[in-house]
Structure 1
Amino acid sequence: MIYLDNGATTIFKPQSVAQAVYRVLSSGEYGNPSRGAYHAAVNASEIVYETRQKVARLFNVPSNSLVVFTKNVTEALNTVIKGYLTPGDHVVMTAYDHNSVLRPIYQLAKRGIKNSCVSLNLQNNLVDLNKLEDMIRPETKMMVCTHASNVIGNLIDIKKVAKICHRHNVILVVDAAQTAGVIPIDMQEMGIDILCFTGHKSLYGPEGIGGICFNQSIDIEPLVSGGSGIDSYNHSMPNRFPEKLEGGTLNVPGIAGLGAGIDYIQNQRVKNQGEKSIKLADMFAHQINHNSNITIYTNLTAPHVGTIGLNFRGINSADISDYLNDRGIATRAGAHCAPLIHQALGTTTQGITRFSFCSLNTEEEVRQTSRIINHLAKIVGEDSGR
């Protein structure tokens, strides 16, 4: 199988990741972190602490305590959005955003929280940041945006967004689901107030682990309340990070796997890993973009990750994905849980077929896939000419 759905999850992981997870589960040496002073509990606490350090170094978080573990980026975004905004507040989002951002915001709209959306510039398929400042109101408290579209792969200029937000005392929340492990992220240099990430994509960790990174302590109401290992007589969650937002037992096997994944990408260098996946995506696009029956939505002249979104004229994206699957190529079709970009591009019915590359893909896989795509485009052209 040629696996080109890395934007959903990477299924080929470094052996070190599998070994880290297996050791926690099989050795009998890892208990419940922060729930005891015996050997197994301490071992688990050490893994959690060490992985917090790795995450903090990866994203340049000022303190390990400002790294909070969640089960995925969806839980991270829900925690931040629902825990910070209150009735009467206003939040800004973008046309690139995933339902992990949109649905919590729509849910809060029922409670009196207003929202605005930065639209797409259809001349270049990029989020029109020239409209952002006009959308900020006195009651605007938060801007939430994805770092890169999960449908077409193009990036949002986070530094530019941060400067605008901070001029108006608006906190910036970035969804790094598609960029963590692909694009070097420095929270302090880029001006990111809160970063939400997942471990199972280009950080090469297992599913079921993600997190929130804060640039400073921010008052967030917990999404989940429960055991924390400390302050047990308090009716509320402890008022300190990270325990305040980590109710219940942590996913120690997942955290161990995440730590191993971060070690892997740090050893390979994030910039190198990302550049390889982007190079493969560009190679693929350039090998197929001469076909008049194919529309490529990714703006290849603007910054992007290793994702190409395309359509064949007159063919549903699901049919294209099925055709490729029959030939051993795994892709993703449909709406990709990102409805606003499809509404803007006019692809709500057809959807888009997404090809998302990672550093473990090869140039030979690109060539094989391109040959099949070009052959299909030729067939489509012949059929349409009848």
Structure 2
Amino acid sequence: MRYLDNAASSWPKPPSVMEAMMNSMNESTAGPGRGSHSMSLKTSRVVFDARKNAAKLFGVRNPNDIAFTMNTTMSLNLAINGFVREGDHVVCTMIEHNSVRRPLEHLKRTRNVSVTYVPADTHGNIQVADVTAAIRPETTLCVVAHSSNLLGTIVDVPGIGALCRSKGVRLLVDAAQSAGILPIHVDQMGIDMLAFPGHKGLMGPQGTGGLYIHPELELEPLLYGGTGSQSEEIDQPRVRPDRYEAGTHNTVGLAGLSAGIKFVLEQTVEEIYKKEWALTQRLMEGLGLIEGIHVLGPKIGQAKTGIVAFNVKNVDSSEIAFILDQSFEIAVRSGYHCTPLSHESIGTLEQGAVRASVGFYTTIEDIDALIDAVKDIAANYA
């Protein structure tokens, strides 16, 4: 199979990730922070190494300001539900994932929270001026996706971060499609909370992710339970990261995540982006030459992450993805990609979109195979 669904989960993983997970399974699967015996201490070091590596990648000064979660969705829920209070106003954008939209809509119903969705143009671009216009005196939080998971559009996070700091508004960034692919420095970009996945650009396994929380912020925990610290207290401990990490860690997964981040640090996000961008441009150019193909999002030559969304004439996107899988053994994704607001913005709410997404291990042969396959499919719908 030619795998072009890296925006959902990167594959394959570096050999070092699988090796680290196997070593953890064999040597360090005791409860981290739950015992004083040697295996428990070794397991704790595995977890802390993952925290240190994530902190290094994102420019976080104190690794304990990163709380590990199961995925970006859990991180976003922790950030949104833990920060937003009764009567607050929140600004987000029309390119957000349902992992942002649904928690916010829930708070509208349950906490009298108001939400303003900043419009996006037909290429998924968000203007800082529109974010400025959306901020009110009662605005406490702004939520933005660093990169659209439908179009690959890159949002001006530094510009929005500077705006939010000038207005006293906290900024939560969804880095599901940018962590490990675009440079991220939380202080320099004005980011107060950063939600990231382990299983995409960071090259780790599924079931891993995290949330950076600015040291000045105190969130209400999403989960309550055992932490291995301050067990005599009736409430969750205040110390980080224990306050936000109830229950036993996915230690094997975090061992893999740690190795994945090391891999990214060695390759550098700049080189990873450069490689993926070149493949993305080749795909866009090839698809653009096929009659009846509509390529969505930023145009050729414009900055974007490794996502290329397209449609074949007026054919349902799920049908195209099915043919690519069954007849050509090419894995892509179709449908709404959990972001109906984006489809509403670009006019594809009925058809959805076929999404091909490149990764570190994508080859030129993979790209050309997809172009040839789409050419054949489009000819059959002439």
Place the TM-score, normalised by the shorter chain, in its bin: over 0.9
Q: Check the 8 A contact 1:217/1:241 in 2, yes or no.
A: no
Q: Check the 8 A contact 1:62/1:216 in 2, yes or no.
A: no
Shift of 1:127: 2.1
2:141 corresponding residue in structure 1:
142
Map residues 298-377 of structure 1 onto 2, 5 A cutoff: 298-300=297-299, 301-326=301-326, 327-377=328-378
Per the alignment, in what secondary structure is the counterpart of residue 213 of structure 1? Answer: strand
Q: Check the 8 A contact 2:172/2:191 in 1, yes or no.
A: yes
Q: Check the 8 A contact 1:66/1:217 in 2, yes or no.
A: no
Shift of 1:375: 2.6
* Percent identity for Structure 1 against Structure 2: 34
Q: Which moved more, 1:371-380 or 1:213-222?
A: 371-380
Q: Which moved more, 1:86-95 or 1:15-24?
A: 15-24
Q: Check the 8 A contact 1:125/1:297 in 2, yes or no.
A: no
Taking the aligned partners of 1:291 and 1:13, their CA distance within structure 2 comes to: 32
Per the alignment, in what secondary structure is the counterpart of residue 189 of structure 1? Answer: coil
Shift of 1:378: 3.0
1:31 corresponding residue in structure 2:
30
1:44 corresponding residue in structure 2:
43
The number of residues matched between the two structures is: 379
Cα deviation 1:153-210 (Å, max 9, x = unaligned) = 1110001111111111000000001011111111111111111101001111010010
Cα deviation 1:10-66 (Å, max 9, x = unaligned) = 121111111111122233x43101111101110011111111110100000011111
When normalised by structure 2's length, the TM-score is 0.97
Per the alignment, in what secondary structure is the counterpart of residue 91 of structure 1? Answer: strand
Per the alignment, in what secondary structure is the counterpart of residue 370 of structure 1? Answer: helix
Q: Which moved more, 1:344-353 or 1:96-105?
A: 344-353
Shift of 1:303: 2.0
Structure 2 unpaired stretches of 5+: none
Cα deviation 1:281-303 (Å, max 9, x = unaligned) = 11110112123411111213432
1:92 corresponding residue in structure 2:
91
Per the alignment, in what secondary structure is the counterpart of residue 177 of structure 1? Answer: coil
1:117 corresponding residue in structure 2:
117
Cα deviation 1:43-95 (Å, max 9, x = unaligned) = 01111111111010000001111111011110000001000011110111111
Q: Which moved more, 1:352-361 or 1:262-271?
A: 262-271
Would the alpha carbon gap of residues 125 and 80 (structure 1) be closer, same or farther in structure 2, given more than 3 Å must change?
A: closer
Q: Check the 8 A contact 1:65/1:241 in 2, yes or no.
A: yes
Taking the aligned partners of 1:159 and 1:16, their CA distance within structure 2 comes to: 33
Residue identity in the other structure for 2:73 = T
Residue identity in the other structure for 2:307 = T
2:179 corresponding residue in structure 1:
180
Taking the aligned partners of 1:310 and 1:191, their CA distance within structure 2 comes to: 33
Residue identity in the other structure for 1:306 = G
Map residues 222-371 of structure 1 onto 2, 5 A cutoff: 222-300=221-299, 301-326=301-326, 327-371=328-372
Taking the aligned partners of 1:232 and 1:215, their CA distance within structure 2 comes to: 25
Q: Check the 8 A contact 1:182/1:275 in 2, yes or no.
A: no
Taking the aligned partners of 2:124 and 2:188, their CA distance within structure 1 comes to: 26
Shift of 1:376: 2.4
Q: Check the 8 A contact 1:295/1:311 in 2, yes or no.
A: yes
Q: Check the 8 A contact 2:95/2:124 in 1, yes or no.
A: no
Taking the aligned partners of 1:151 and 1:90, their CA distance within structure 2 comes to: 26
Residue identity in the other structure for 1:155 = I
Cα deviation 1:245-292 (Å, max 9, x = unaligned) = 111111111110000001111111221112111211111101121234
Q: Check the 8 A contact 1:154/1:302 in 2, yes or no.
A: no
Matched, 1:71 2:74: no
> Aligned-residue CA RMSD in angstroms?
1.2
Taking the aligned partners of 1:350 and 1:30, their CA distance within structure 2 comes to: 46
When normalised by structure 1's length, the TM-score is 0.96
Residue identity in the other structure for 1:314 = N
Matched, 1:3 2:3: yes
Structure 1 unpaired stretches of 5+: none
